[in-house]
Amino acid sequence: MCAAAVEEAAAIIRAGGLVAFPTETVYGLGADALNTIAVGRIYVAKGRPAFNPLIVHVDDVEGVRTVARHVPPMAEALAEVFWPGPLTLVLPKRPLVPDAVTAGLDSVAVRVPAHAVARMLIACAQRPIAAPSANASTRVSPTTAAHVVQQLGASLDLILDGGPTSVGIESTVVDLTGPRPVLLRPGGIPRDAIERVVGELVLVSSAARGDVPLPSPGMMERHYAPQAQLVAFDAEERDDIAARIAAHERSGGRAALLAHDVDDVTATCVLSMPRDSEAYARKLYAALHTIDDAQCDLAFVERVPFGVQWDAVRDRLRRAGVAGDAG
Ligand code: TXA
Ligand code: MG
């Protein structure tokens, strides 16, 4: 059964149009993955470089087989535990997947999303749906429909509004095309949970040294970045930071604070950030969008704890441009 709005969206996808839709991670900018012209529109709308390939969203493991020519046992094992959910697997591609989707690579990234609207859209369109995050290239990913409208509204045929997303950061990307599984991007599923299923993952930093295949093309650029300059600080430095914020605002600047404890600090944007890593991830992009909307030019971000459950948040803070180690 397709809800009316989803049926309309599915018809647009089948006709080669662009639809933004919610997933459990972030909103996606979707097109028919088997239609080269439609996929080309995604790159134009985002201003995305052609060398950065897209994730193909499918219904289930059978859908994966329609775009991947080989689904290795490790993929089956991970699918069993984590799909539907925020895990993307890079697998050898079938020839029918256009080069526009994979940026000419011989592999394709696939994911079975958990969000009910995303699932209904794929089922109603009866197509694999190529979808990057629905933000302008290098800008902060959208976790609400309003974020999508702000950045891409004019380029879209339809947006399905499913409310705020529940995970809040993108899927974990694991490359299974080589002899050992490689973590290309930390994300919604923590590394240790994946390692319990397939053993130790090769990390991109060691992949870049050349002993395993090239890292994900999309991991090389600055990404997820708000307009403000971001500066990391430790909780003990709070008084000093409060003084720097006050001085910045006195001289006509606009400052933001992202911290666990924000009592008694005055700034243009004061954002209280959760101590739990999942709650922090859910809130992070909305906080960065708030900083942009308020036109803050300087933001102080309290360092987050070390530990594997903070890996994805620490990665996104670093790539948002936090000066000094974000962790
Ligand atoms: O949670 C998510 O993954 C969201 C939602 C919409 O599903 N999508 C998303 O897409 O984050 P995007 O395009 O923003 O990020 C896709 C990542 C990029 O880092 C890209 O380089 C990598 O996946 N990727 C895609 N295809 C690949 C391939 N064949 N080999 C290596 N990396 C690939
Ligand atoms: Mg993205």
Question: Which tens digit of pLDDT belongs to each residue from 222-262?
Answer: 667 889 999 999 999 989 999 999 999 999 999 999 999 99
For 121, 196, 306, the CA distances from 138, given in Å and listed in that order, are 26, 32, 25
Q: Which atom of ligand 1 is nearest to the CA of 184?
A: 32
Q: Which atom of ligand 1 is nearest to the CA of 219?
A: 19
Count of CA atoms in the C-beta half-sphere (13 A) of 278: 8
The predicted pLDDT at position 2 comes to: 79
The predicted pLDDT at position 138 comes to: 87
Looking at residues 189-200, what average pLDDT do you find? 98
| Ligand nearest to the CA of residue 132, numbered in listed order | 1
pLDDT tier for residue 323 given thresholds of 50, 70 and 90: confident
- C-alpha span between 111 and 27 (Å, rounded): 14
pTM of the shown model = 0.94
The predicted pLDDT at position 205 comes to: 63
- C-alpha span between 251 and 229 (Å, rounded): 16
Residue 136 C-alpha to ligand 2 middle, in angstroms? Answer: 9
- C-alpha span between 15 and 7 (Å, rounded): 12
Mutate to test the pocket of ligand 1, among 90, 172, 182, 216 (most ligand atoms within 8 A of CB): 216
For 70, 175, 240, the CA distances from 133, given in Å and listed in that order, are 26, 19, 37
Of the chain, the percentage scoring pLDDT greater than 90 comes to 87
Among 120-124, 186-190, 321-325, name the one with the lowest average pLDDT.
321-325
HEC readout, the chain: CCCHHHHHHHHHHHCCCCEEEECCCCEEEEEECCCHHHHHHHHHHHCCCCCCCCEEECCCHHHHHHHECCCCHHHHHHHHHHCCCCEEEEEEECCCCCHHHHCCCCEEEEECCCCHHHHHHHHHHCCCEECCECCCCCCCCCCCHHHHHHHHHHHCCEECCCCCCCCCCCCEEEECCCCCCEEEECCCCCHHHHHHHHCCCEEHHHHHHHHCCCCCHHHCCCCCCCCCEEEEECHHHHHHHHHHHHHHHHCCCCEEEEECCCCCCCCCEEEECCCCHHHHHHHHHHHHHHHHHCCCCEEEEECCCCCHHHHHHHHHHHHCCEECCCC
Phi/psi at 280 (5° precision): -65, -45
The predicted pLDDT at position 218 comes to: 57
Query: Are the beta carbons of 55 and 88 closer than 8 angstroms?
Result: yes
Residue 138 C-alpha to ligand 2 middle, in angstroms? Answer: 8
Tokens at residue 189, please?
């599923």
Shortest-distance Cα residue to atom 18 of ligand 1: 218
- C-alpha span between 85 and 188 (Å, rounded): 8
The predicted pLDDT at position 225 comes to: 83
- Listed in sequence order, the residues at least 6 apart from 66 whose beta carbon sits closer than 8 Å to its beta carbon are 58, 94, 128
Bridge partners of 270? 257
- C-alpha span between 202 and 324 (Å, rounded): 25
The predicted pLDDT at position 222 comes to: 61
Looking at residues 264-274, what average pLDDT do you find? 95
pLDDT in tens, 114-171: 999 999 999 999 999 999 999 999 899 999 999 999 999 999 999 999 999 999 999 9
Mutate to test the pocket of ligand 1, among 94, 105, 117, 133 (most ligand atoms within 8 A of CB): 133
Residue 136 C-alpha to ligand 1 middle, in angstroms? Answer: 14
Shortest-distance Cα residue to atom 12 of ligand 1: 132
Of the chain, the percentage scoring pLDDT greater than 70 comes to 93
Q: Which atom of ligand 1 is nearest to the CA of 54?
A: 25
Average pLDDT, the chain: 93
Q: Which atom of ligand 1 is nearest to the CA of 102?
A: 29
The predicted pLDDT at position 207 comes to: 47
Q: Which atom of ligand 1 is nearest to the CA of 101?
A: 26
Q: Which atom of ligand 1 is nearest to the CA of 185?
A: 19
Q: Give yes or no for residue 47 having a pLDDT over 80.
A: yes
Residue 133 C-alpha to ligand 2 middle, in angstroms? Answer: 4
Residue 57 C-alpha to ligand 2 middle, in angstroms? Answer: 14
pLDDT tier for residue 214 given thresholds of 50, 70 and 90: very low
| Dihedral in degrees, nearest 10, Cα atoms 257, 259, 261, 266 | 0
For 27, 162, 164, 178, the CA distances from 167, given in Å and listed in that order, are 11, 13, 9, 29
The predicted pLDDT at position 211 comes to: 44
Q: Give yes or no for residue 206 having a pLDDT over 60.
A: no
The predicted pLDDT at position 131 comes to: 98
How would you classify the pairing of strands 87-92 and 107-111?
Answer: antiparallel
pLDDT in tens, 62-110: 999 999 999 999 999 999 999 999 999 999 999 999 999 999 999 999 9
The predicted pLDDT at position 224 comes to: 78
Of 153, 132, 156, 157, the closest CA to residue 224 belongs to: 132
Q: Which amino acid is at 33?
A: A
Q: Give yes or no for residue 7 having a pLDDT over 90.
A: yes
Q: Which residues line ligand 1 (CB under 6 A)?
A: 23, 25-26, 28, 52-55, 86, 88, 90, 102, 105, 107-109, 111, 131-133, 170-171, 173, 175, 184-185, 216-219
Residue 53 C-alpha to ligand 1 middle, in angstroms? Answer: 7
Q: How many residues does the chain have?
A: 327
